[in-house]
Amino acid sequence: MSRIAKDQEAKWQQIESRNYAGQCKYMLNGFWGTLEKDAELVWNWCQSFNELDQEKHADGNELDEFWSHKFLEGLGETMTVIEMREKFRKIDADFNKRMSMVEYIMFRYGFSIPSVLTCPQGDNTAGIKKAQAMVEAAQKALDEMTAKLEAAKEAADRAKEAADAAKKAAKAVAEAEAEAKAALAELQAEEKAFEDKKAGLEKIKNDMSIGVVKRNKASNELDQLLSEDPLPLRKAKINQGAAVKKCERATKAAEAASQKADETEKAAVAKENEAQAAATEAQKKLQEAIDFLEEEKQKGGVAQGDIWWMQRELTEKKKYLPASKQK
Residue 2 is predicted with a pLDDT of 64
Tell how far CA 150 is from the center of its chain. Answer: 6
Q: What is the dihedral of CA 236, 242, 243, 244, to 10 degrees?
A: 110
* pLDDT tens for each residue of 32-84: 999 999 999 999 999 999 999 999 999 999 999 999 999 999 988 777 788 88
Residue 251 is predicted with a pLDDT of 94
**Angle of the 101-109 helix axis to the 20-30 helix axis, nearest 10:** 30
pLDDT at 14 over 50: yes
**Angle of the 125-206 helix axis to the 304-318 helix axis, nearest 10:** 0
* pLDDT tens for each residue of 152-193: 999 999 999 999 999 999 999 999 999 999 999 998 998 998
pLDDT at 1 over 70: no
Q: Which residue has the higher pLDDT, 141 or 224?
A: 141
CA distance 71 to 110: 19
Give Cβ neighbours of residue 219 (< 8 Å, ≥ 6 apart).
Answer: 201, 205
* pLDDT tens for each residue of 223-274: 887 887 788 888 988 999 999 999 999 999 999 999 999 999 999 999 999 9
Give Cβ neighbours of residue 250 (< 8 Å, ≥ 6 apart).
Answer: 169, 172, 173, 175, 176
* pLDDT tens for each residue of 94-128: 999 999 999 999 999 999 999 999 999 887 778 88
- pTM (whole model) above 0.75: no
Residue 296 is predicted with a pLDDT of 86
Give Cβ neighbours of residue 305 (< 8 Å, ≥ 6 apart).
Answer: 24, 25, 26, 27, 28, 29, 30, 32, 35, 39, 122
Q: Where are the domains of the chain?
A: 6-121, 128-325
Residue 11 is predicted with a pLDDT of 95
Sign of the C-alpha dihedral, residues 235, 237, 240, 246? negative
User: What is the CATH number that goes with domain 6-121?
Assistant: 1.10.238
* pLDDT tens for each residue of 209-226: 888 889 889 888 888 878
Residue 123 is predicted with a pLDDT of 72
